[in-house]
Amino acid sequence: MRATAGTRPFLMLVLGTGATLAVFAPQAWSKPAADRAYTIANYPVEARAANAVAAKDAAIADGQKAAFRSLLKRIVPVTAYRDMARIAATDTSTLIDGVAVRSERNSATQYIASLDFTFQAAEVRELLNRKGIPFVDTQAPATILIPLTRDSRSAAGPSGEFRPASGTWNAVWPSLDLENSVSPLKVENVKPEIGAATLRGLYDDATLSDSIMTLAAAYGTDQVVVAIAEVDTEGRRVNVLLAGQDAAGPFSLKRAYRLSDGDLAYTLELAAVVSQGVMEGRWKAVSSGVVAAPVTAAGGDEISFDAEFAGKEDWNAMRRVLLEAPGIDDIRIGSISPDRASVSLKYPGGGPALSRALASYGISLTDTGGLWVMRQAR
């Protein structure tokens, strides 16, 4: 939950021993540009305790642990996520460099805030190197991101009408930590010269390259990505197209997000977080020496399968791979039970090729006599 209080003066809190915090002015705190990825900014924290002081201490302690997990997901390639278990017991208090307060509010027993957690870059690098966990902390050149919405085609005809983003889809992007990402983004408005024909062209393989060139000419840079959200009320999902060119190259990727309990705001926030993760993953793949082939809007063979899992944590780990791994397109998640989910998607080469790709993530995809089944590899 994010704090709703107004922004307060930006203070840097340098952690001392125990729960004592020393306050410094922001001018006294400077980080090298090469270490920018080690700051997790605008991170929401919340805690309740017997009194306000204890609640604040608990929120900061829990927040730094969660922020460290976010840092690892930011800089570690998804193919090595399973290796992060080697440092699960790490005392994150030994790696924290400072905490900055963006906004906060409290009561006698509750503390809610948005904080910036900065970690010691050299120490984190040393830890990952010592444990043999690969990472990418060099930032890509910034990419312009244009959030848009598209009217449901069932309501507005076959093409749907494109509009500048509003509401949650417009507000969620600036709330993400875009500057410190390994794939930084700059949110800008759509320009008048970007018409509906150009945007429709991002959905079609035949016109994708021309649309990307039009975007580049309008914004004066090759790196422009459009994020289009379309709410499908009848299908109870949000369809998102992420298309253009980032630092890893041209791509067009469709994702369908199930409306969770009809909560549109939550679903749009999830879609934005995953979309940012996709672009971070593409940059990490390229920086790690993996060729990130262009992903086309309608490319790949369709495959349907059942995902079997031991519980929510198991399912979330598999779902993260499906959402962020390169080459996987047009994901649709159907019925979900406590130990099984039905999934359909597109992947070049179909089931056999996807099985080989998922194996590198520690996931098995097996043809069980006409029905593909996905499980965590044991």
Residues 281 and 330 in one domain: no
Domain contains 296:
no
Amino acid in the structure at residue 145:
L
Q: What is the pLDDT of residue 21?
A: 44
Each residue's pLDDT tens digit, 184-235:
999 999 999 999 999 999 998 889 999 999 999 999 999 999 999 999 888 7
Average the pLDDT over each of 44-58, 134-148, 343-357 and give the range with the smallest value: 343-357
Each residue's pLDDT tens digit, 22-76:
333 343 345 667 799 999 999 999 999 999 999 999 999 999 999 999 999 999 9
Domain contains 6:
no
Each residue's pLDDT tens digit, 91-104:
999 999 999 999 99
CA angle 177, 179, 185 (to 5 degrees): 95
Residues 102 and 186 in one domain: no
Token pair in block for residue 272: 């934005």
Q: What is the pLDDT of residue 14?
A: 42
Residues 253 and 365 in one domain: no
Neighbours of 45 (CB within 10 A): 25
Position 345 confidence tier, pLDDT thresholds 50, 70, 90: confident
* E strand or H helix at 217: helix 205-219
* E strand or H helix at 3: none
Residues 167 and 277 in one domain: yes
Amino acid in the structure at residue 118:
T
- With contact defined as beta carbons under 8 Å apart, do 76 and 134 qualify? yes
Domain contains 276:
yes
- With contact defined as beta carbons under 8 Å apart, do 127 and 95 qualify? yes
Token pair in block for residue 340: 């099984």
Q: What is the pLDDT of residue 347?
A: 85
Residues 38 and 81 in one domain: yes
Domain contains 267:
yes
CATH assignment of the domain containing 307:
3.30.70
Domain contains 282:
yes
More confident: 321 or 74: 74
Domain contains 160:
yes
Token pair in block for residue 32: 């090298």
Residues 274 and 148 in one domain: yes
Q: What is the pLDDT of residue 357?
A: 85
Q: What proportion of the chain, given as a percentage, has pLDDT over 90?
A: 54
Q: What is the pLDDT of residue 290?
A: 58
Token pair in block for residue 214: 């039009």
Each residue's pLDDT tens digit, 240-266:
999 999 999 998 988 888 886 778 999
Mean per-residue pLDDT, 148-168: 77
Q: What is the number of structural domains in the chain?
A: 3
Token pair in block for residue 224: 């422009």
| Domain carrying residue 196 | 143-287
- With contact defined as beta carbons under 8 Å apart, do 104 and 88 qualify? no
Token pair in block for residue 97: 């460099």
Residues 157 and 223 in one domain: yes
Position 130 confidence tier, pLDDT thresholds 50, 70, 90: very high
Residues 158 and 119 in one domain: no
Domain contains 321:
yes
Q: What is the pLDDT of residue 82?
A: 80
Q: What is the pLDDT of residue 69?
A: 93
Residues 110 and 186 in one domain: no
Q: What is the pLDDT of residue 12?
A: 41
Average confidence score pLDDT of the chain: 84
Going by their DSSP bridges, the two strands 301-308 and 372-376 should be labelled as parallel
Largest Cα–Cα separation, the chain: 65
Q: What is the pLDDT of residue 1?
A: 33
Domain contains 23:
yes
The reported pTM is 0.76
Question: CA 231 to CA 153: how far, in whole Å?
Answer: 9
Q: What is the pLDDT of residue 15?
A: 43
Q: What is the pLDDT of residue 58?
A: 95
Q: How far is CA 293 from CA 109, 206, 300, 327, in A?
A: 52, 17, 13, 8
Each residue's pLDDT tens digit, 280-320:
988 998 888 755 444 444 456 788 899 999 888 888 888 88
